[in-house]
Amino acid sequence: MSSQVKGVARSDGHDWNVSVTELLQNWHKRVYAAQSAHYASADLFRRLNYLVGVPAVVFSSVVGTAIFAGLEKDSPRALWVASASIIAAVLAGLQTFLRFPERAAEHATAADWYSAVRRDIEETLHLPLDCRGTPKECLERIRKEMNRAAQDAPELSVRFWKREARRFGVQEPLETS
């Protein structure tokens, strides 16, 4: 049973009305933005892995080759080899400490999860009203999935989130514009 209060349809949780549909559309934008931001983060960490990993391998190889070639103690080549050795060690340490591959995988998993929630919302929005079930049950199910995805997802950088939120038209609850 629905009632009208100041032009807004009130629902007992059994009627699909405009506000329920708008809420689902807003959630759709939000999960699409989160999915996109997590995929972008995963791509960034994959690139960083190569940007740090490849030079680490190259410098390590140069050092190893130079050591076997035999160096004079005070030659300029010895200084270059020592510098390359330090750079290789720093890069390898950074790569290990910053865990680029693991972080890329975590963001990709989060993006996949948000993608699944997005598809659930799209499916719901495209179903005839009589096939959707009650709005209360549907919203509760989707909200729980969104909450689980958010709890298990790694933190996004503010820059990535703001960029994707703007791109998908997500309005933050505390935003005033």
pLDDT digits (tens, 9 = 90+) for 7-16: 344 456 678 9
Query: pLDDT at position 1, please?
Result: 39
pLDDT digits (tens, 9 = 90+) for 89-114: 888 888 889 999 999 999 999 999 99
Choice between 152 and 12, residue whose per-residue pLDDT is larger: 152
Considering the chain, what is the average pLDDT of its residues? 86
Calculate mean pLDDT across residues 17-29: 95
pLDDT reading at 177 higher than 60: no
Q: Read off the amino acid at residue 168.
A: F
Q: Read off the amino acid at residue 164.
A: E
pLDDT digits (tens, 9 = 90+) for 55-81: 888 888 777 766 666 666 667 777 777
Q: What is the distance between the alpha carbons of residues 130 and 13, in angstroms, rounded to a whole number?
A: 14
Angle between helices 100-126 and 76-98 (to 10 degrees): 40
